[in-house]
Amino acid sequence: MPEVTMTVNGKPASGEVEGRTLLVQFLREDLNLTGTHVGCDTSQCGACVVHVDGQAVKACTMLAAEADGAEVTTIEGMAAPDGTLDRVQEAFKEHHGLQCGFCTPGMVMSAAALLRDTPKPTEAEVREYLEGNICRCTGYHNIVKAIMAASGQEVSALAAE
Amino acid sequence: MPKDHGIGASSKRREDERFLTGVGNYTDDINLRGQAYVHFLRSDVAHGKINKVDTSAAEAMPGVVRIFTGADFDGVGGLPCGWQVTDKHGQPMQEPAHPVLAQGKVRHVGDPIAAVVAETAAKARDAAEAIEYDIDELPAVIDMKKAVQPDAPKVHDDLESNLCYDWGFVEENKPAVDEAFEKAAHVTTLELVNNRLIANPMEPRVAVGDYARATDESTLYTTSQNPHVIRLLMGAFVLGIPEHKLRVVAPDVGGGFGTKIFHYAEEAFCTFAARALARPVKWTASRSEAFMSDAHGRDHVTKIELALDADNNFTALRTDTYANMGAYLSTFAPSVPTWLHGTLMAGNYKTPLIYVNVKAVFTNTVPVDAYRGAGRPEATFQLERVIDKAAIELGVDPIELRRKNFITEFPYETPVAVAYDTGDYHATMDKLEEIADLSGFEARRKESAARGRLRGLGVNTYIEACGIAPSNLVGQLGARAGLYESATVRVNATGSISVMTGSHSHGQGHETAFPQVVADMLGIDESMIDIVHGDTARVPMGMGTYGSRSLAVGGSAMVRATEKVINKAKKIAAHLMEASEADIELKDGQFTVAGTDKSVAWGDVTLAAYVPHNYPLEDIEPGLEETAFYDPSNFTYPSGAYACEVEVDPETGKVTIERFAAADDFGNIINPMIVDGQVHGGIGQGIGQALLEGCAYDENGQLITGSYMDYAMPRADDVPFYQVDHSCQTPCTHNPLGVKGCGEAGAIGSPPAVVNAVVNALRSGGHDLTHIDMPLSPSRVWQAMNA
């Protein structure tokens, strides 16, 4: 079996994998980074989004072998080493942007990528960007609100509650 | 000022920290030493006779541990049904066997034929492909009305027909209802479909079975809303394992929405196989497997008739519904179209005479059971749609027609066997008119028209019966379980508290909201209280979470147990202060003697309970831990009024939700932030049902919508921000918190608002139509416009 080596959350990681092993399987099963979730088998739900060399990628659409040599960041690598939450994580907590928590890692990773490319997205831009992330709990209301808040925009008037 | 702690505060959720940092503990995150993996070979035909399942070639594949077929389950119980409905002739429903693995026949696409246990998931899957099987495909029954024809193929050969039951409610009222229709000044009739849905919690189901030879104990880790129910059903009816030898753990669960209530074959299989192989056995569903094995929801075909007198008072209601059960009876399936549906047909209205007929039908489809709202969305949808149609036919304002018929005096006994304790339907409608800015609608309609869009407004009300439920009542109605809830409040020596609750949190935020209640009662900080749930070894027998019951029933048990703790703590405090127990008051975590400056702190009392050097041992035992079981005396009746504004593109038929407002009455509120979130989520699912989602089978029983490629889940850009309000509060009169429950309201109240709005939009464009069946996809709307 081929050996893969990559940097995950700033630390070196390697392992032997079958050729068919997906990146998400390698992360979850070999590295025990179970924060990245699997919610579908057609690459649509987005629960498995991670960053590979700075790009948001669905870790179920990529073979582990393809990530050989890459820099990978998962949800476990988002908070600062002292535990301080990233601004997206913090905003999700502040604005109740999660319920069951299963889609959350993918939502946070997608949102972080969006805000890197589009620092002040409009509501429509946030909603369109999340096309590849499905949430069944929140009706998206507080997710969109949290992402806009994380971008530093005033959200209290978006929809009164 | 909003409260910052205790009851009524929007405390931030403590469970978020672990979910946001990737250290939650979902069932698929559990891996046990030496575990093997299961892959189920599932039927690819809807109906067939199994001639042969030859596993010999597959057994020889690398890494295969053992392959099980239906023959391995001879002598093992089948999956039980938890509710027996009695038909209109007084006879019990037809109840087929439901083997863990198919025996003799397969009855739906996805029915498990064999289970491969192997060293890795990939090897199990590879070996499953090598199983040779021969199935004679039989004609499938998919359409419910065809299924009950005398010459229809039978799903179960040993049953008389495909009719599970023919239920009349209230059967004795039928002649009076029929007579009222003959005398009516106006009758409105509507035929409609409540579309079949797939719950789709984002976490697929997972089961891990484990077995300890040393103690003969089995453990099942599973994605369940109610681990004790699974322990009871699987232990007593399927595998014959007594409760004290069977532990069921439901750790972090990634959404349920009803579909994780039920006991599934895969749970029984993993527990069974772990014992047979004496090693852990794990199964993780793929999403495709979830589509063909999770219980589906809704799927009613209904004719509803509303009779009115010359003053537009509702005088009678009559419904005729076909309800799909699928191929087997899922755990609570028979109760959904009957007791969770027929009893809600009065809605918010004082219709004096109601008759509901439901024919439950077996088909060659996945079993159908409760999905968020469970029966109540089906009741609300038909009632609120027929009222809108009546308003069109009579040329009256649909809101005024509703207001004219609102129930205004409480308690109110409906003609469908329930008694609403409180409510104020005018108040929620008033609030809705305000928050939805209904007076501004015509201006917005003109603005839409200027852009070539048809704008429509849909308004409706809803009521639900939740806080399920009084055990003695549901027992009479056929439930084979009680529906109380339990709580243990364990106070530790240093004053911290573990609250063990039989309800289960899978997104609802119990870990945050429940401590708010206990903290409020004791006057201590919320952070001193932790909630323990989801483990039959740690929590007293409880019935779990569904039917918006956790706070109304489980929270009430918690209040009762905390009251017992307070009573005992006051005895200890009285002893410590050498005062009379009757004079002891508890406030802000301090026990004081009324009228004096004597006090002892919460922590002094808890320490004395466990270090009883100075303690009234002759009167009370050491320790401070109390358990309560709470069985409610009635359902709770949340209600509300919802408004939806849509734009329809007349060129394409595409519907866009422009505004959505919800004014709910949930009684008292513990955590407003969490309540808002529950309503948002329910509305999102309701919009999904109304516009996007529909489970489709072809005539041969092939599941057309078998993945997210085909089943349209609502995405972020399908929905708007919602305007929600729960300031109208008529507290429940019969539980100690005065709470009603909020988990299902959004999904119950929203579909009719959307459809009413689309019909209104199209009529404003000159299209003379009164109904379109959900989901209102662009093609359906376009076809309706161009019919």
Q: Taking residues B25-53, report their average pLDDT.
A: 98
Contacts of A76 in chain B (CB under 8 A): 21-23
Q: Is the residue at A107 inside a domain? A: yes
| A103 and A137 housed in the same domain | yes
Three-state DSSP at B452 gives coil
Query: Chain A residue with minimal CA distance to B29?
Result: A34
| A91 and A142 housed in the same domain | yes
| Least CB–CB distance from B716: residue in A34, A35, A144 | A144
Q: How far does B225 lie from chain A, in Å, by closest CA?
A: 12
Q: How far does A154 lie from chain B, in Å, by closest CA?
A: 15
Q: Taking residues B427-445, report their average pLDDT.
A: 98
Pairing relationship of beta strands B314-326 and B300-308 according to DSSP bridges: antiparallel
Give the structural domain span for A105. Answer: 87-150
Q: Which of A56, A77, A98 is the last residue of a domain?
A: A77
Q: How far does A5 lie from chain B, in Å, by closest CA?
A: 22
| A104 and A66 housed in the same domain | no
Contacts of B435 in chain A (CB under 8 A): 160
Contact flag B286-A100 (C-beta cutoff 8 Å): no
DSSP element (H, E) containing B207: strand B206-212
| A12 and A37 housed in the same domain | yes
pLDDT, tens digit, for every residue of B293-308?
999 999 999 999 999 9
Q: Flag whether pLDDT at B116 surpasses 50.
A: yes
Q: Are B55 and B48 in contact (CB under 8 A)?
A: no
Q: Is the residue at A156 inside a domain? A: no
Give the Cα-Cα-Cα angle B747, B752, B757 (nearest 5 degrees): 125
Separation CA A14–CA A7 (nearest Å)? 8
Three-state DSSP at B630 gives strand
| A71 and A91 housed in the same domain | no
Query: Chain B residue with minimal CA distance to A89?
Result: B20
Query: Chain B residue with minimal CA distance to A77?
Result: B21
B276 pairs with which residues across the strands? none
Q: Flag whether pLDDT at B58 surpasses 70.
A: yes
pLDDT, tens digit, for every residue of B646-682?
999 999 999 999 999 999 999 999 999 999 999 999 9
| A114 and A142 housed in the same domain | yes
| Least CB–CB distance from B203: residue in A39, A93, A96 | A39
Contact flag A85-B21 (C-beta cutoff 8 Å): yes
Separation CA B341–CA B333 (nearest Å)? 12
| Least CB–CB distance from A158: residue in B20, B22, B721 | B721
Residues with Cβ within 8 Å of B403's Cβ and at least 6 positions away in sequence, in order, are: B426, B429
For chain A, the straight-line distance linking the first and the last C-alpha, in angstroms and rounded, comes to 55
Contacts of B727 in chain A (CB under 8 A): none
Contacts of A33 in chain B (CB under 8 A): 22
Q: Flag whether pLDDT at B1 surpasses 80.
A: no
Q: Are B515 and B501 in contact (CB under 8 A)?
A: no
Question: Residue ranges of the alpha helices (H) in B651-744?
Answer: 672-687
Query: Chain A residue with minimal CA distance to B288?
Result: A41
B467 or B383, higher pLDDT: B383
- Residue B489, token pair as written in the block: 């409040």
| A68 and A118 housed in the same domain | no
pLDDT, tens digit, for every residue of A29-69?
999 999 999 999 999 999 999 999 999 999 999 999 999 99
Q: Are B228 and B502 in contact (CB under 8 A)?
A: yes
For chain B, the straight-line distance linking the first and the last C-alpha, in angstroms and rounded, comes to 55
Q: Flag whether pLDDT at B164 surpasses 70.
A: yes
Q: What is the CATH number of the domain that holds A12?
A: 3.10.20.30
Nearest to B131 by CA among B247, B39, B23: B39
Q: How far does A69 lie from chain B, in Å, by closest CA?
A: 23
Residues with Cβ within 8 Å of B61's Cβ and at least 6 positions away in sequence, in order, are: B118, B123, B126, B127, B130
| A20 and A46 housed in the same domain | yes
| A72 and A112 housed in the same domain | no
Confidence of residue B354 (pLDDT cuts 50, 70, 90): very high
Residues with Cβ within 8 Å of A114's Cβ and at least 6 positions away in sequence, in order, are: A121, A125, A126, A129, A147
Which of A104, A140, A142, A153 has the most B C-beta neighbours within 10 Å, making it the best mutation to test the interface with B? A140
The pLDDT, as a whole number, for residue B565 is: 98
Q: What are phi and psi of B354, to 5 degrees?
A: -140, 135
Domains of chain B: 34-141+205-284 (3.90.1170.50), 296-469+634-785 (3.30.365.10), 484-630 (3.30.365.10)
Torsion on CA atoms B569, B571, B573, B577, rounded to nearest 10: 180
Contact flag A127-B716 (C-beta cutoff 8 Å): yes
Q: How far does B11 lie from chain A, in Å, by closest CA?
A: 10
Give the number of other CB atoms < 10 A from CB of residue B406: 17
The pLDDT, as a whole number, for residue B506 is: 95
| Least CB–CB distance from A134: residue in B31, B202, B685 | B202
Owner of token pair 């009762």: B560
Which of B715, B723, B744 has the most A C-beta neighbours within 10 Å, making it the best mutation to test the interface with A? B715
How many domains does chain A contain in total?
2
Q: How far does B529 lie from chain A, in Å, by closest CA?
A: 20
Contact flag A141-B288 (C-beta cutoff 8 Å): no
pLDDT, tens digit, for every residue of B552-582?
999 999 999 999 999 999 999 999 999 999 9
Q: What are phi and psi of B694, to 5 degrees?
A: -170, 120
Question: Residue ranges of the alpha helices (H) in B351-462?
Answer: 376-394, 398-405, 425-435, 441-450
How big is the A-B interface in CB pairs under 8 Å? 193
Q: Flag whether pLDDT at B705 surpasses 70.
A: yes
Q: Which of A77, A96, A115 is the last residue of a domain?
A: A77
The pLDDT, as a whole number, for residue B468 is: 84
Average pLDDT, chain B: 97
Contact flag A101-B24 (C-beta cutoff 8 Å): yes
Q: Flag whether pLDDT at B384 surpasses 60.
A: yes
pLDDT, tens digit, for every residue of B510-526?
999 999 999 999 999 99
Q: Is the residue at A82 inside a domain? A: no
Q: Is the residue at A160 inside a domain? A: no
Nearest to B37 by CA among B208, B268, B287, B281: B281
The pLDDT, as a whole number, for residue A161 is: 46
Query: Chain A residue with minimal CA distance to B746?
Result: A139
Which of A42, A136, A145 has the most B C-beta neighbours within 10 Å, making it the best mutation to test the interface with B? A136
Sign of the torsion formed by the C-alpha atoms of A75, B14, B223 and A29? positive
| Least CB–CB distance from A40: residue in B29, B682, B708 | B708
The pLDDT, as a whole number, for residue B423 is: 98
Q: Are A132 and A123 in contact (CB under 8 A)?
A: no
Query: Chain B residue with minimal CA distance to A132?
Result: B715
| A133 and A107 housed in the same domain | yes
Contacts of A20 in chain B (CB under 8 A): 122
**Conformational region of residue B244, where left means phi above 0, alpha means psi within -120 to 50, and beta covers everything else:** alpha
Q: Is the residue at A159 inside a domain? A: no
Contact flag B707-A94 (C-beta cutoff 8 Å): no
Nearest to B560 by CA among B643, B648, B490, B488: B488
Query: Which 3-state string (H, E, C) describes B302-365?
Result: EEEEEEECCCCCEEEEEEEEEEEEECCCCCCHHHCCCCCCHHHCCCCECCCCEEEEEEEEECCC
Query: Chain B residue with minimal CA distance to A160?
Result: B723
Q: Taking residues B730-755, report their average pLDDT.
A: 97
Which of B10, B21, B198 has the most A C-beta neighbours within 10 Å, making it the best mutation to test the interface with A? B21
Query: Which 3-state string (H, E, C) describes B85-126?
Result: CECCCCCECCCCCCCCCCCCEECCCCCEEEEEEECCHHHHHH
| A59 and A110 housed in the same domain | no
Contact flag B17-A93 (C-beta cutoff 8 Å): yes
Radius of gyration of chain B (CA): 27
Distance of CA B313 to the CA centre of its chain: 33
Q: Is the residue at A14 inside a domain? A: yes
Q: Which of A77, A96, A114 is the last residue of a domain?
A: A77
Separation CA B140–CA B147 (nearest Å)? 9
C-alpha dist (Å) from residue B215 to A40, A118, B212, B271, B337: 38, 58, 6, 15, 43
| Least CB–CB distance from A98: residue in B20, B122, B673 | B20
Contact flag A89-B725 (C-beta cutoff 8 Å): no
pLDDT, tens digit, for every residue of B194-224?
999 999 999 999 999 999 999 999 999 999 9
Given strand B105-106, what is the order of strands in its sheet? B105-106, B48-54, B132-137
Contacts of B714 in chain A (CB under 8 A): 139-140
Contact flag B717-A142 (C-beta cutoff 8 Å): no
Separation CA B63–CA A8 (nearest Å)? 30
B457 pairs with which residues across the strands? B645
Separation CA B412–CA A8 (nearest Å)? 62
Per-residue pLDDT of chain A in tens (161 residues, 90 and over written 9)? 789 999 999 999 999 999 999 999 999 999 999 999 999 999 999 999 999 999 999 999 999 999 999 999 999 999 999 999 999 999 999 999 999 999 999 999 999 999 999 999 999 999 999 999 999 999 999 999 999 999 999 998 776 54
Pairing relationship of beta strands A71-73 and A3-8 according to DSSP bridges: parallel
**SS3 of chain A: helix, strand, coil, percent, to 5:** 35, 15, 50
- Residue B708, token pair as written in the block: 């997210």
Contact flag B721-A47 (C-beta cutoff 8 Å): no
Nearest to B199 by CA among B372, B74, B362, B16: B372
Secondary structure letter of residue A26 according to DSSP: I
Q: Flag whether pLDDT at B4 surpasses 90.
A: no
Contact flag B202-A100 (C-beta cutoff 8 Å): yes
Secondary structure letter of residue B785 according to DSSP: H
Q: Is the residue at A155 inside a domain? A: no
Tell me the CB-side half-sphere exposure of residue B524, using CA atoms within 13 A.
21
Q: How far does A108 lie from chain B, in Å, by closest CA?
A: 8
| Least CB–CB distance from B22: residue in A39, A98, A105 | A105
Q: At what angle do helices B556-576 and B602-610 cross, to 10 degrees?
A: 80
Query: Chain A residue with minimal CA distance to B505?
Result: A100
The pLDDT, as a whole number, for residue A157 is: 77
Q: Is the residue at A17 inside a domain? A: yes
| A67 and A110 housed in the same domain | no
Separation CA B188–CA B390 (nearest Å)? 6
